[in-house]
Amino acid sequence: MQITPGIFKAYDIRGIYPTELNEEGAYAIGRAFVTFLGAREVIVGHDMRLSGPAIFSAVTRGIMDQGADVVNIGLVSTDQYYFACTRLGLPGMMVTASHNPKQYNGFKMVRQMPYLLSGAEGIQDLRRIVESDAYAPTTRTGSMRTLDLSDEFVEFVLGLIDIETLNRRRLNIVADTGNGTVGPILQRIYERLPLHFIGMYLEPDGNLPNHGLDPLMAENRAELERRVVEEGADAGFAFDGDGDRFFVIDDRGRFVSGDFLTALLGRYLLQRAPGSKIVYDVRASWAVRDLISAAGGIPLIERVGHAFIKRRMANENALFGGEVSGHYYFRDFNFADSGIIPSLFVMEMLASGGQSLSALLKPLEEKYFISGEINSTVANPKERLEALASAYADGVIEWIDGISVTYPTWHMNVRASNTEPLIRLNLEATTREEMERRRDEVLAIIRG
């Protein structure tokens, strides 16, 4: 059948409903998934998007028509879906477009936890099967059963922390789930904890009446930043649409970068498992490398993307992993990412240490000056990367994921987006003046 090839991304399938991804396409992708994996049973969940029920119905019909049974886990966060795939040892399809705007939908697909289908390993195979109608012959029609693992999930994540530690300092937390999927399960978990909890937009609503689903965009977290200051809160927590990404606002109402949070959490978690390996992505601040090394851990750099980080962590048996984009991965969660689990560890870290979050961040802010991720729309990303390689040929150049260039006092990573027509710059220097000068210099080359 004819299907929009651009929806088959590096880490998942994602497109606008119904022009790029519709029921017919979802049905075909369900059949292709079963054909590719030879699956006999598939877990399927969905987020709160308005097109979710239609896409869910179509993809599960495709799975069953291709001869496999469906385990319907219903409206769940993506970390609940990973938990179900781990718990049952089954492949899965999560109907979600993560943090994309409400008109999008798609699939995050598990081969066998912690391994997900990625562009090079499975996703392009699905596209070829759909385009050529190359489905495996089948003689049976599958059936569907429903399964609610939410009670088990709540007990599991609460078991990862020492709840008694939270009694040492009763935290005041504001959490914004942005009408995404994670609100109901977050409430069930937080009501078991000794803290003062203020929830914002906890009700799943695909109309998104309040703000967008990506807390990396400043306008989507502005209200939370204000609320943290108004409430005198210890921290504000934000979650993306499907709840697998997590973001923090400190007690000053300031956004905490993902690399600084990776550094702080990594150092904290190493107290439990000294000498462990910690994985971080190529965009990250030197703070991650330095804090992990100083705490006796082994920092490992990896390319961006959950499919790559999970695989590397599993291969290395790493304790923890973090990405600048707000994904946090845990060995105790089968190397998967979760939004809820890091929120619990942040609370435990704050309660056990007695320091405010801003006090923990202060030494990093005084030493590491980061640009944050800066996006540029360019016609030919490959040419721009080659221009950077030529301009900075006297630096240490690596091509792990895009181009990374390192000098004694500054470094950068520039990579093409896997999901949008953009080039992304992350740059850091040891002084603010140099960071701003190098940032502007590099952007001038990128934007040509």
pLDDT in tens, 191-215: 999 999 999 999 999 999 999 999 9
**Average pLDDT value for residue range 54-83:** 98
C-alpha span between 237 and 231 (Å, rounded): 13
Tell me, what's the pLDDT at 157? Answer: 98
**Average pLDDT value for residue range 32-48:** 98
- 5-148 and 369-447 share one CATH topology? no
C-alpha span between 169 and 188 (Å, rounded): 21
β-strand 369-370 against 328-330: which pairing, if any? unpaired
Question: Predicted confidence band at 403 (pLDDT cuts at 50, 70, 90)?
Answer: very high
Tell me the helices (H) and strands (E) count for the chain, helix number first: 14, 23
Please give the backbone phi and psi of residue 414, each rounded to the nearest 5 degrees, phi first.
Answer: -130, 125
Tell me, what's the pLDDT at 419? Answer: 63
Residue 217 in 3-state DSSP? coil
Domain ranges of the chain: 5-148, 153-357, 369-447
Lowest mean pLDDT among 100-114, 220-234, 405-419: 405-419
Tell me, what's the pLDDT at 263? Answer: 98
436-440: long-range contacts, CB 8 A cutoff, minimum separation 24: 438/410, 438/412, 439/371, 439/374
Q: Are 221 and 238 in contact (CB under 8 A)?
A: yes
Which CATH fold topology does 5-148 show? Alpha-D-Glucose-1,6-Bisphosphate; Chain A, domain 3 (3.40.120)
Question: Active site residue: 98, 150, 343, 371, which one?
Answer: 98
Joined tokens for residue 400: 């792990």
Quick one: angle between helices 357-365 and 340-353, nearest 10? 90
Active site residue 376: no
Question: Predicted confidence band at 16 (pLDDT cuts at 50, 70, 90)?
Answer: very high
pLDDT tens across 122-157, in order?
Answer: 999 999 999 999 999 999 999 999 999 999 999 999
**Average pLDDT value for residue range 422-435:** 97
Is domain 369-447 given the CATH code 3.30.310.50 in the classification? yes
- HSE on the CB side for 193, CA within 13 Å? 32
Which CATH fold topology does 153-357 show? Alpha-D-Glucose-1,6-Bisphosphate; Chain A, domain 3 (3.40.120)
